[in-house]
Amino acid sequence: MPQLATRMGRAKPSAIMVIAEKAKRLKAEGRDIVSFSIGVPNFLPGEHVYAAAREALAKDSGQYGSNRGSDALVDAFLGHIEALGLTGYKRENVSTGVGAKQILYNLAEALLDEGDEIAFPAPYWTSYLDIAEIVGAKINILPCPPEQHYKLTPAQLDEALARKPRVFLFNNPSNPTGMVYTRDEIVALADVIAKYPDTWIITDDIYNTMVFDGVGYHNFVHVRPELKDRVIFVDSLSKTYGMPGWRVGFIAAPESVAKAVTTLNSNHITSLPEVITAAAVAALSGPQDVPAAKCAEFAVKRDRVYNALVSIPGVVCPRPQGAFYAFPDISVAFGKKHDGVAITSDVDFCAALLETKGVACVPGSAFGEPRALRISYSCPDEALDKGMARIVEFFAELT
Ligand code: PMP
């Protein structure tokens, strides 16, 4: 039998998908399951997006498109980021891809030779580790425990960048923690970044319009525009526009990086489909009331989840201020039993919770923090309240 490439020994299926699949299977068996596992928005884009897609379908040429993304799409993205305060970018600074995930994979290929170092904070989004492992990078994980609100400190960043990694990968607002860095925190980190010119900075900020409590969204280039020559801003329509399956992602980056990603596109995907492109243009340049309304709704859902979590003795949950995730430290349960079953880890906890209460959450170890679990609260209020009540009940039953 011929062999697979060695790199496949480093490639793992997503831990999130494994839980989501199990929840789906139990549901199909007739169990009453509440799934807090997968990070998908529970809303659809506005009708104008579908209208644009239908119109494009009616006249779709069916031809290949541009490797970078059509001019209309690139221009719509430039308009969108200008509204976020990211100004002065040209078409040459932009590239597109099949979701932010494919863009991140392209960036790993474009920026990292085998053995080059990439640094990123933990908790991290699971694919960061997987992508870095597939391309054979040396990985420096910077632990940010609940005690520091899952946030990277300037001192940690200084120590990491002093090693001159090729890439520092940063995510704000955070999946899985829901943390959002304040402007002052971004200034302090940007001051450190400015000291180390040899490192590319990727900011995966795909939840940038989902920020609560007036904290605002801040990027390193907002506070230090000169960092534009090293900062790669990653964005996506998936979460903020309710379009995960349309698979559209973007970067705004130094020209050389945008060009490299475009070159990889020419070999990987050729182009985004025309119908998808038309829908994406409509989403970015049409009315913005859906993302704004959803952000307000998520802030209220955050309160419901957070209030339930902090009512549980011993559970610690830094208050999420963005995206639609909460990441409680549930380690108070370790060493206890539920229904006679020993809980020794986050994985045991999530397995028992799903088995006995029908609530699916993702173990924190999938994100590099084994004391926690992730709750994705993008679901209807009724399911949310039911799921949270069952989690509270589960804790009360621990012996
Ligand atoms: N980055 C983060 C932090 C994410 O949470 C996700 C999706 N879960 C992605 C990137 C990938 O998004 P996309 O759907 O655009 O590929």
Atom of ligand 1 nearest to the CA of 174: 3
Q: Is the same domain home to 102 and 226?
A: yes
Write out the two tokens for 393: 């009940």
| Partner residues linked to 165 by β-bridges | none
Q: Is the same domain home to 160 and 39?
A: no
Which residue's CA is minimally distant from atom 8 of ligand 1? Answer: 39
Q: Is the same domain home to 266 and 357?
A: no
- Average per-residue pLDDT in the chain? 95
Q: How much is the ipTM here?
A: 0.99
* 71 in any annotated domain: yes
Give, for ligand 1, the residue of 239, 362, 377 to mutate: max count of ligand atoms closer than 8 Å to Cβ. 239
Residue 240: name the closest of 228, 249, 252, 231 by CA: 249
In this prediction, residue 397 carries a pLDDT of 98
**Which residue stretches of 196-330 are H helix?**
220-223, 255-268, 274-285, 289-310
Angle subtended at Cα 180 by Cα 176 and Cα 181, rounded to the nearest 5 degrees = 130
206-232 confidence digits (pLDDT tens): 999 999 999 999 999 999 999 999 999
Q: Give the distance (Å) from ligand 1 centre to CA of residue 166.
A: 22
Around ligand 1, the residues with Cβ closer than 6 Å are 39, 99-101, 125, 171, 175, 204, 206, 236, 238, 244, 249
Residue 233: name the closest of 89, 134, 344, 127 by CA: 89
Domain limit, last residue, from 267, 285, 303: 285
- Which pLDDT band, with edges at 50, 70 and 90, does 9 fall under? confident
The three-state (H, E, C) secondary structure of 153-171, written as one string = CHHHHHHHHCCCCCEEEEE
Domain limit, last residue, from 285, 314, 339: 285
Is residue 355 pLDDT above 80, yes or no? Answer: yes
79-118 confidence digits (pLDDT tens): 999 999 999 999 999 999 999 999 999 999 999 999 999 9
Angle subtended at Cα 81 by Cα 318 and Cα 156, rounded to the nearest 5 degrees = 40
**What's the CATH number where 367 sits?**
3.90.1150.10
Q: Is the same domain home to 271 and 352?
A: no
Q: Give the distance (Å) from ligand 1 centre to CA of residue 10.
A: 20
Atom of ligand 1 nearest to the CA of 171: 3
Domain limit, last residue, from 285, 305, 325: 285
Please state the domain count of the chain.
2
Atom of ligand 1 nearest to the CA of 239: 14
Q: Distance (Å, rounded) from C-alpha 114 to C-alpha 139?
A: 11
Q: Is the same domain home to 31 and 99?
A: no
134-190 confidence digits (pLDDT tens): 999 999 999 999 999 999 999 999 999 999 999 999 999 999 999 999 999 999 999
Q: Is the same domain home to 340 and 242?
A: no
Residue 81: domain span: 47-285
- Percentage above 70 pLDDT, the chain: 99
Cα pseudo-dihedral 303, 309, 310, 314, rounded to 10: -170
Q: Is the same domain home to 210 and 351?
A: no
Q: Is the same domain home to 187 and 332?
A: no
